[in-house]
Structure 1
Amino acid sequence: MPRITDYELYEVPPRWLFLRVETSDGRVGWGEPVVEGRAHTVRGAVEELMETYLLGEDPHPVSDHWQAMYRGGFYRGGPVLMSAIAGIDQALWDLRGKAFDAPVYELLGGPVREKIRVYQWVGGDRPADVGDAAAEKVDQGFSALKMNATPEFRRVENPATVQNAVDRIREVRERVGPEVDIGVDFHGRVAKSMAKRLAEKLDPYDPMFVEEPVLPEHDEALTEIAAHTSTPIATGERMFSRWEFKRLFEQGVVDVIQPDLSHAGGITEVKKIADMAEAYDVALAPHCPLGPIALASCLQVDGVCQNALIQEQSLGIHYNEGSDVLDYLADPAVFEYEDGYVDLPDGAGLGVDIDESVVEARAGEVDWHNPVWRHDDGSVTEW
């Protein structure tokens, strides 16, 4: 019986944490356990789980390991612990797939699709030059884009600031036409007092969805916001378990959920969340502004979920300064985008071959933290 014999954590640019798990029969599994801006903190949680529970264990019973990591702690949940579990879960599925010489999606029942549509980010944190950027991405073959709706946004904004946000979306729509989808991310920057007004004003430009119109702690406001717009509502990147999503589904107003495979408990948990969503006629669009292991994990779940709509990916995103998704792959062609789609990986496990020499060469202490934004009066605002 194989055993987990060793592990290694690598902080790599731009802001990622990779986990390498090795077994006694020579297999290697990879995971991506990270909270953006809290890599050091998640590292400690991963080390604790590996040292106190997983080292010396049989890697194969992935579901049982998940339950032990989650239920074995009296205090559970939250971004740090669930992200640690997520990355370990990815690595265990990678090992299991390699043991059976099959992609993870084959072990989850087999694929329901051959490929999944992807979208490309435009415009940056403080959205600017969105029209040219959108046209460029469409020329590259993407049929779906996403952009931030606003920079800093006060609780009650003046009409000019609201109109500026509307004008940016209008510009993109006019540049790319009606056959391209545009996701609009409110990023939790807009208070409920303005979210309903802004969402309503965007309706004429037919967004694919409005994302995180309010922060998750204010999800009770989604019912009122939904009453002011016909645009689908998306949320979920800052939710970490099926029990959090349960309340969202029961509310009945969300159209697209966006759990993150590196935050919401990994492949094991997000597959369950996606199945719950299907029962409520809610689509799945996994959040993934992260690295190649996280993206490969997303594609395994997309492959087996009928309600998977579209996949976020971070190639060329504004966060990826200095390193990008393909840099860490021995075969970058696994994520080749064609006509706005990416094929499901057909390799064993997660289906990606990590270039360990690049990982080791670039590994070190990565000190990425999101900026702290302030209003003109000096008070902290949402980033």
Structure 2
Amino acid sequence: MKIERIDIIVTCPGRNFVTVKVVTSDGVHGLGDATLNGRELAVHAYLQEHVVPCLIGRDPRNIEDIWQYLYRGAYWRRGPVTMTAIAAIDMALWDIKGKLADMPVYQLLGGKSRDGLMVYGHANGRDHAEAVDAVLKHQEEGYKAIRVQSGVPGLEKTYGVGKTQGYYEPAEKGLPPEEPWDTALYLRHTPELFRKVREAVGPDAHLLHDAHHRLTPIEAAQLGKSLEPYRLFWIEDATPAENQESFRLIRQHTTTPLAVGEVFNAIWDCNQLIREQLVDYIRATIVHAGGITHVRRIADYAAMYQVRTGFHGATDLSPVCMAAAVNFGLWVPNFGIQELMPHSPLTDAVFPHNYRFEQGYLVMDEVPGLGVEIDETLAAQYPYERAYLPVARLRDGSMWNW
């Protein structure tokens, strides 16, 4: 069996997705997600010009060798474009192997560790009242864990809060929008938000919050300490993690659990964070961290230090990556939680899949491979449209972390 061809499909059913389709000489195909939000065509070019020509004629069953070939053989290692491209090929090869074995990928990894993945949804509001209402609505829908974000009085826009009702979609068509930021306003506002939410939902709901890399370490420590009375499941991305040691300062001041890593590309990005137990959940996602093959190494390493998974799962991951995440999460022993932002009905139509939400959990049936396909005819009706994530500036005009 050989790799006969590799197609790269770019489609925009409301937002941009890049999908790899690896086809074998036996006619079996596998899918992988190659979406890098706001840089989709960079990954497309890397795949088309530098990866695909090197893989034609290789045995698709040799997943480990192909992974090492793409990672070590390129010399220029890591980075979001390279690791997203590797991840897409890796997912597709696991999909093929599952179809050849007539088993779900989670069975190839070692079988189920659980029946379903507890997920958290996104409850957003322009103010406290709207945010509380959104949390209660998520509870009615069956969510046991809910991320809460609210507009900040005095700021025109706030991360996590969309312009209209419904799920928050940060990418916008055209050039990057610019948004104002004021940390002092945010730190005064957020504890009161969670006081009201906890009062409304009671003690049992798992509440999460995303600081989105906006804080310095001591500001993150202040936030974590102020939120301790409301018993958060975690604070996500409290401070930029390039300096992994900075999380030590946060740990010294708060017992609020910490999660980080959706922008990580490799195990080296989280080495110190895991080894020194500076975080409680690692959020590296399959599509941006080298695929199932590499994320499995991250999860095994994290398990040694009682760090659990909490994978990114926003709408910038296609249903192909979400299917891979469900397979992975059903197996991984140190699973913590899975983010879930449901895709639009149109996206679900382009990517029919087996995984589904049931009473706070993602579940899937015993289907071969990843359990996801792509309707190429429908996908072709929605061509690529340039879109970017916003950028943030402080009130004095200087750039800040978005």
| Alignment TM-score, normalising by the size of structure 2 | 0.87
Query: CA 1:124–1:372 in 2, change beyond 3 Å: closer, same or farther?
Result: farther
Aligned to 2:232: 207
Shift of 1:121: 1.1
Q: 2:358 is matched by which residue type in structure 1?
A: E
Q: 2:212 is matched by which residue type in structure 1?
A: H
Between 243-252 and 88-97, the greater mean CA deviation after superposition: 243-252
Shift of 1:340: 0.2
Aligned to 1:246: 271
Q: RMSD in angstroms over aligned alpha carbons?
A: 2.1
1:379 equivalenced with 2:398 (yes/no):
yes
CA distance in 2, matches of 1:92, 1:348: 13
Shift of 1:329: 3.4
Aligned to 1:308: 335
In structure 2, runs of 5+ residues without a counterpart are 153-157, 159-179
What is the aligned-residue identity percentage? 33
CA distance in 2, matches of 1:44, 1:74: 18
The answer to whether the 8 A contact 2:355-2:371 is kept is no
Aligned to 2:10: 10
Query: CA 1:91–1:130 in 2, change beyond 3 Å: closer, same or farther?
Result: same
Q: 1:73 is matched by which residue type in structure 2?
A: A
CA distance in 2, matches of 1:128, 1:188: 25
Shift of 1:65: 0.4
Aligned to 1:60: 61
Shift of 1:360: 2.3
Query: CA 1:70–1:181 in 2, change beyond 3 Å: closer, same or farther?
Result: same
Q: 2:123 is matched by which residue type in structure 1?
A: V
1:343 equivalenced with 2:363 (yes/no):
yes
The answer to whether the 8 A contact 1:116-1:302 is kept is yes
Match of 1:235 among 254, 260, 272: 260
The answer to whether the 8 A contact 2:247-2:273 is kept is no
Shift of 1:49: 4.0
Q: 1:374 is matched by which residue type in structure 2?
A: R
1:367 equivalenced with 2:386 (yes/no):
yes
Shift of 1:124: 6.8
SS of the aligned residue for 2:10 comes to strand
Between 8-17 and 94-103, the greater mean CA deviation after superposition: 8-17
Shift of 1:127: 8.6
CA distance in 2, matches of 1:215, 1:279: 24
The answer to whether the 8 A contact 1:49-1:69 is kept is no
Aligned to 2:41: 40
Q: 2:11 is matched by which residue type in structure 1?
A: E
Cα deviation, 1:140-195, whole Å, max 9, x if unaligned, reads 111111134773544xx44x542211122222222222111011111101122411
Aligned to 2:219: 194
Aligned to 1:28: 29
CA distance in 2, matches of 1:82, 1:247: 20
The answer to whether the 8 A contact 1:77-1:240 is kept is yes
Cα deviation, 1:213-261, whole Å, max 9, x if unaligned, reads 1111132121111121111111111211122222222222211111111
The answer to whether the 8 A contact 2:181-2:395 is kept is no
1:112-127 paired onto structure 2 within 5 Å: 112-123=113-124
SS of the aligned residue for 1:373 comes to strand
| Alignment TM-score, normalising by the size of structure 1 | 0.91
SS of the aligned residue for 1:146 comes to strand
SS of the aligned residue for 2:292 comes to helix
CA distance in 1, matches of 2:246, 2:214: 14
Q: 1:299 is matched by which residue type in structure 2?
A: V
CA distance in 2, matches of 1:161, 1:86: 36
The answer to whether the 8 A contact 1:285-1:310 is kept is yes
1:358 equivalenced with 2:383 (yes/no):
no
CA distance in 1, matches of 2:312, 2:11: 21
Shift of 1:94: 0.7
Aligned to 2:81: 80
Cα deviation, 1:84-128, whole Å, max 9, x if unaligned, reads 111111111111111111111111121211211111012179998
The answer to whether the 8 A contact 2:124-2:134 is kept is yes
Query: CA 1:125–1:272 in 2, change beyond 3 Å: closer, same or farther?
Result: farther
SS of the aligned residue for 2:244 comes to helix
1:125-136 paired onto structure 2 within 5 Å: 129-136=130-137
Query: CA 1:110–1:60 in 2, change beyond 3 Å: closer, same or farther?
Result: same
Query: CA 1:340–1:6 in 2, change beyond 3 Å: closer, same or farther?
Result: same
Q: 1:222 is matched by which residue type in structure 2?
A: F
CA distance in 1, matches of 2:25, 2:210: 45
The answer to whether the 8 A contact 2:147-2:208 is kept is yes
Match of 1:327 among 346, 349, 371: 349
